[in-house]
Amino acid sequence: QEPLPALHPSLIALETFHKAAAEIAGNDVFHVTVTGGEPLAVLKWILPDLEYLSEQGVHLSLNSNLTLLTLDKAKILNRLGVRTVLTSLMSADAALNDSLANSKGALEKVVRGIRIAREEGLWVAVNMVVTKKNLHDIFSTARLVKELGVNAFSATKASRPIGSSDFSEYALSNQDLN
């Protein structure tokens, strides 16, 4: 594992993570959900703290977009005893999902990550954030994740992001929810 350069902007965050792990273990916390940013992007740097938490009997879950999941990382998560991996998928339609994610190939990458996680025996839950743009795709998205062996699926109404002045093209109305 390569150390971060002394002036790396994430060094302070990693030091904070290290201190938090010690506090968590020292205060009898029994479950932690590791979220981000993207925790898989920094796994090699936070791994010692995750191992420490696991050794202390703290149960771990992970919130991740799974686009960076590899078989090696999945084996690490399994070894750590990660109980749940929660990811997000906005549509079973690749073009729509990629548009909503603002990332070309996003659906393919998430599906690959889900497959790797399931092959390694990780319990995977998928949340679909629903807007006017993908409301029609809830059932096909649920069908896709079922075919992938996902353990749980939920659909959640999108809310206006902080700082967004106009969310009207995405916001669901009461009629949409009926």
pLDDT at position 5, please? Answer: 55
Judged by phi (left if over 0) then psi (alpha if -120 to 50, else beta), residue 104 lies in beta
Dmax over CA atoms of the chain, in Å, equals 55
pLDDT at position 37, please? Answer: 82
CA atoms of 23 and 31, how far apart (whole Å): 13
The kind and range of the H/E element at 153 are: strand 152-157
Amino acid at 44: K
Residue-wise pLDDT tens for the chain (178 aa)? 566 555 455 666 778 888 999 999 999 899 999 998 899 998 998 999 999 999 999 999 999 999 999 999 999 999 999 989 999 999 999 999 999 999 999 999 999 999 999 999 999 999 999 999 999 999 999 999 999 999 999 999 988 888 888 888 888 788 887 7
Q: Which residues make Cβ contacts (< 8 Å) with residue 12, sequence separation at least 6?
A: none
Q: What is the dihedral of CA 53, 59, 63, 69, to 10 degrees?
A: 70
How far CA 131 is from CA of 94, 114, 165, in Å, comes to 16, 23, 16
Q: Which of 157, 152, 153, 154 is nearest to 178 (CA)?
A: 157
HEC string of 7-28?
Answer: CCCCHHHHHHHHHHHHHHHHCC
